[in-house]
Amino acid sequence: MSNHHAWIQSFARTKGKPLSNRQKQLLADLLPQITANKALFFDDNLLAQMEIGFGDGKHLTNQALSQPDTCFIGCEPFVNGIAKLLSSMDRLKISNIKVFVGDCRAFISEIPDNRMSCVYILFPDPWPKKRHHKRRLLQKGFLTLIWRVLAPGGSIRFASDNKDYAQEVFDFMNSDSMFQTSNQSLDLCIYPQNPWSPIITKYEEKARFSESDCFFIEALKVCP
Protein backbone atom coordinates (compact mmCIF):
# COMPACT_ATOMS: atom_id res chain seq x y z
CA MET A 1 0.00 0.00 0.00
CA SER A 2 1.33 3.45 -0.87
CA ASN A 3 1.72 6.13 1.76
CA HIS A 4 1.25 9.26 -0.29
CA HIS A 5 0.45 11.61 2.59
CA ALA A 6 3.75 10.86 4.36
CA TRP A 7 5.86 12.03 1.40
CA ILE A 8 7.65 15.35 1.62
CA GLN A 9 7.69 17.12 -1.74
CA SER A 10 11.15 16.80 -3.28
CA PHE A 11 10.72 19.25 -6.17
CA ALA A 12 10.54 23.04 -6.01
CA ARG A 13 8.06 23.96 -8.76
CA THR A 14 5.86 22.51 -11.47
CA LYS A 15 5.61 25.42 -13.94
CA GLY A 16 8.01 27.92 -15.49
CA LYS A 17 7.84 30.23 -18.50
CA PRO A 18 4.65 30.42 -20.58
CA LEU A 19 4.34 27.57 -23.09
CA SER A 20 4.14 28.05 -26.84
CA ASN A 21 0.90 27.20 -28.62
CA ARG A 22 2.58 24.13 -30.11
CA GLN A 23 3.67 22.91 -26.67
CA LYS A 24 0.15 23.43 -25.34
CA GLN A 25 -1.22 21.40 -28.25
CA LEU A 26 1.21 18.54 -27.57
CA LEU A 27 0.26 18.52 -23.89
CA ALA A 28 -3.40 18.34 -24.88
CA ASP A 29 -3.10 15.81 -27.70
CA LEU A 30 0.07 13.70 -27.33
CA LEU A 31 0.47 13.46 -23.56
CA PRO A 32 -2.82 11.57 -22.96
CA GLN A 33 -1.71 8.96 -25.51
CA ILE A 34 1.58 8.23 -23.76
CA THR A 35 0.67 8.67 -20.10
CA ALA A 36 2.22 5.95 -17.94
CA ASN A 37 -0.07 3.99 -15.64
CA LYS A 38 -0.18 0.56 -14.07
CA ALA A 39 -2.05 -0.84 -17.10
CA LEU A 40 1.35 -0.86 -18.86
CA PHE A 41 2.29 -3.81 -16.72
CA PHE A 42 -0.66 -5.98 -17.75
CA ASP A 43 1.93 -7.26 -20.22
CA ASP A 44 3.79 -9.74 -18.04
CA ASN A 45 6.80 -9.65 -20.34
CA LEU A 46 7.36 -5.90 -20.06
CA LEU A 47 10.70 -4.98 -18.51
CA ALA A 48 11.11 -1.21 -18.62
CA GLN A 49 13.67 1.46 -17.79
CA MET A 50 12.82 4.63 -15.91
CA GLU A 51 14.26 8.12 -15.60
CA ILE A 52 13.12 10.15 -12.62
CA GLY A 53 13.27 13.91 -13.11
CA PHE A 54 14.20 13.92 -16.81
CA GLY A 55 14.49 17.71 -17.10
CA ASP A 56 14.34 18.73 -20.76
CA GLY A 57 14.35 15.07 -21.84
CA LYS A 58 17.70 15.03 -23.70
CA HIS A 59 19.04 11.96 -21.88
CA LEU A 60 15.72 10.14 -22.02
CA THR A 61 15.23 10.68 -25.75
CA ASN A 62 18.79 9.55 -26.46
CA GLN A 63 18.25 6.36 -24.49
CA ALA A 64 14.96 5.69 -26.27
CA LEU A 65 16.49 6.24 -29.71
CA SER A 66 19.46 3.98 -28.96
CA GLN A 67 17.22 1.19 -27.59
CA PRO A 68 14.06 1.29 -29.73
CA ASP A 69 12.80 -2.09 -28.47
CA THR A 70 12.88 -1.00 -24.82
CA CYS A 71 10.02 0.77 -23.05
CA PHE A 72 11.18 3.89 -21.22
CA ILE A 73 9.17 5.65 -18.55
CA GLY A 74 9.91 9.26 -17.66
CA CYS A 75 8.64 10.75 -14.39
CA GLU A 76 8.61 14.53 -14.14
CA PRO A 77 6.47 17.10 -12.29
CA PHE A 78 7.74 20.14 -14.25
CA VAL A 79 5.34 20.96 -17.08
CA ASN A 80 7.89 22.89 -19.14
CA GLY A 81 10.25 19.92 -19.13
CA ILE A 82 7.44 17.61 -20.18
CA ALA A 83 6.56 19.97 -23.03
CA LYS A 84 10.17 19.90 -24.26
CA LEU A 85 10.22 16.11 -24.16
CA LEU A 86 6.97 15.91 -26.10
CA SER A 87 8.38 18.28 -28.74
CA SER A 88 11.43 16.04 -29.15
CA MET A 89 9.30 12.90 -29.32
CA ASP A 90 7.09 14.48 -31.96
CA ARG A 91 10.02 15.75 -34.04
CA LEU A 92 12.07 12.53 -33.81
CA LYS A 93 9.05 10.18 -34.10
CA ILE A 94 9.86 8.42 -30.81
CA SER A 95 7.21 5.92 -29.75
CA ASN A 96 8.83 3.97 -26.89
CA ILE A 97 8.53 6.55 -24.08
CA LYS A 98 5.71 6.79 -21.57
CA VAL A 99 5.36 9.75 -19.22
CA PHE A 100 4.13 10.07 -15.65
CA VAL A 101 3.34 13.63 -14.57
CA GLY A 102 3.84 14.29 -10.87
CA ASP A 103 5.61 12.72 -7.91
CA CYS A 104 7.35 9.57 -9.10
CA ARG A 105 6.65 7.81 -5.81
CA ALA A 106 2.94 7.69 -6.61
CA PHE A 107 3.66 5.80 -9.83
CA ILE A 108 6.38 3.53 -8.41
CA SER A 109 3.99 2.46 -5.67
CA GLU A 110 1.66 1.06 -8.36
CA ILE A 111 4.31 -0.90 -10.32
CA PRO A 112 4.41 -4.68 -9.80
CA ASP A 113 7.57 -6.20 -8.34
CA ASN A 114 10.65 -6.84 -10.50
CA ARG A 115 9.58 -4.89 -13.62
CA MET A 116 12.41 -2.36 -14.06
CA SER A 117 15.85 -3.18 -15.45
CA CYS A 118 17.31 0.25 -14.69
CA VAL A 119 16.30 3.45 -12.89
CA TYR A 120 18.14 6.71 -13.64
CA ILE A 121 18.18 9.69 -11.27
CA LEU A 122 20.55 12.25 -12.75
CA PHE A 123 21.44 15.43 -10.87
CA PRO A 124 18.29 15.77 -8.76
CA ASP A 125 17.84 18.82 -6.55
CA PRO A 126 20.41 18.35 -3.73
CA TRP A 127 18.61 20.68 -1.31
CA PRO A 128 22.00 21.78 0.06
CA LYS A 129 20.81 23.60 3.20
CA LYS A 130 20.72 21.23 6.16
CA ARG A 131 17.18 22.18 7.14
CA HIS A 132 16.04 21.08 3.65
CA HIS A 133 17.80 17.69 3.60
CA LYS A 134 14.49 16.01 4.43
CA ARG A 135 13.28 17.09 0.96
CA ARG A 136 15.97 15.11 -0.84
CA LEU A 137 14.38 12.42 -2.99
CA LEU A 138 16.87 9.66 -2.28
CA GLN A 139 16.15 8.62 1.27
CA LYS A 140 16.28 5.13 2.73
CA GLY A 141 12.55 4.59 2.26
CA PHE A 142 12.71 5.65 -1.37
CA LEU A 143 15.50 3.18 -2.08
CA THR A 144 13.28 0.46 -0.64
CA LEU A 145 10.60 1.43 -3.19
CA ILE A 146 13.16 1.23 -6.00
CA TRP A 147 14.51 -2.12 -4.79
CA ARG A 148 11.04 -3.66 -4.98
CA VAL A 149 10.40 -2.72 -8.62
CA LEU A 150 13.89 -3.52 -9.93
CA ALA A 151 14.31 -6.92 -11.55
CA PRO A 152 17.00 -9.22 -10.10
CA GLY A 153 20.32 -7.79 -11.22
CA GLY A 154 18.69 -4.49 -12.14
CA SER A 155 20.45 -1.24 -11.31
CA ILE A 156 19.86 2.25 -9.99
CA ARG A 157 22.07 4.95 -11.49
CA PHE A 158 22.42 8.20 -9.56
CA ALA A 159 24.47 11.28 -10.42
CA SER A 160 25.17 14.46 -8.46
CA ASP A 161 27.77 17.20 -8.16
CA ASN A 162 26.91 17.72 -4.49
CA LYS A 163 29.43 15.64 -2.53
CA ASP A 164 27.42 15.63 0.68
CA TYR A 165 24.34 14.28 -1.11
CA ALA A 166 26.40 11.78 -3.10
CA GLN A 167 28.06 10.48 0.08
CA GLU A 168 24.66 10.17 1.76
CA VAL A 169 23.25 8.16 -1.14
CA PHE A 170 26.39 6.02 -1.37
CA ASP A 171 26.14 5.23 2.35
CA PHE A 172 22.41 4.45 2.09
CA MET A 173 23.10 2.00 -0.73
CA ASN A 174 25.78 0.23 1.26
CA SER A 175 24.03 0.22 4.63
CA ASP A 176 22.32 -3.14 4.18
CA SER A 177 22.07 -6.05 1.76
CA MET A 178 19.54 -4.54 -0.69
CA PHE A 179 22.11 -3.03 -3.06
CA GLN A 180 25.74 -3.42 -3.99
CA THR A 181 27.55 -0.42 -5.45
CA SER A 182 29.84 -0.97 -8.41
CA ASN A 183 32.62 1.01 -6.72
CA GLN A 184 33.91 0.52 -3.19
CA SER A 185 34.31 4.20 -2.31
CA LEU A 186 32.75 7.49 -3.32
CA ASP A 187 36.03 8.84 -4.71
CA LEU A 188 35.98 6.02 -7.28
CA CYS A 189 32.61 7.33 -8.52
CA ILE A 190 34.11 10.56 -9.89
CA TYR A 191 34.19 10.51 -13.69
CA PRO A 192 35.26 13.16 -16.22
CA GLN A 193 32.07 12.41 -18.19
CA ASN A 194 28.89 10.40 -17.78
CA PRO A 195 29.93 6.72 -17.97
CA TRP A 196 26.43 5.64 -18.99
CA SER A 197 25.59 8.07 -21.81
CA PRO A 198 27.24 10.52 -24.21
CA ILE A 199 24.55 13.08 -23.42
CA ILE A 200 25.47 15.93 -21.06
CA THR A 201 22.40 17.13 -19.21
CA LYS A 202 21.78 20.77 -18.33
CA TYR A 203 22.79 20.36 -14.68
CA GLU A 204 25.85 18.27 -15.47
CA GLU A 205 26.95 21.00 -17.89
CA LYS A 206 26.55 23.61 -15.14
CA ALA A 207 28.57 21.46 -12.75
CA ARG A 208 31.36 20.98 -15.30
CA PHE A 209 31.43 24.72 -16.00
CA SER A 210 31.89 25.42 -12.28
CA GLU A 211 34.62 22.73 -12.18
CA SER A 212 32.73 20.67 -9.61
CA ASP A 213 33.39 16.94 -9.32
CA CYS A 214 30.52 14.83 -10.67
CA PHE A 215 29.71 11.59 -8.91
CA PHE A 216 28.12 8.71 -10.84
CA ILE A 217 26.96 5.97 -8.50
CA GLU A 218 25.60 2.67 -9.81
CA ALA A 219 24.18 0.02 -7.50
CA LEU A 220 22.82 -3.40 -8.39
CA LYS A 221 19.83 -4.97 -6.73
CA VAL A 222 20.83 -7.81 -4.42
CA CYS A 223 18.25 -10.55 -3.95
CA PRO A 224 18.05 -12.45 -0.65
Active site residues: 125
- The HSE-up count of residue 183 (CA atoms within 13 Å, CB side) is 17
Give me the helices (H) in the chain, please.
21-29, 31-34, 58-66, 79-92, 104-108, 140-149, 163-173, 202-209
Q: What residues have CB less than 8 Å from 127, skipping those under 6 apart? A: 10, 133, 135, 136, 165
**Closest residue by Cα to residue 217 from 164, 178, 181, 172:** 181
Query: Left if phi > 0, otherwise alpha if psi is -120 to 50, otherwise beta: which for 62?
Result: alpha
Q: What residues have CB less than 8 Å from 193, skipping those under 6 apart? A: 200
Question: Does residue 62 contact residue 4 with C-beta atoms inside 8 Å?
Answer: no
Pairing of β 72-76 and β 48-52: parallel
d(CA 206, CA 53): 17
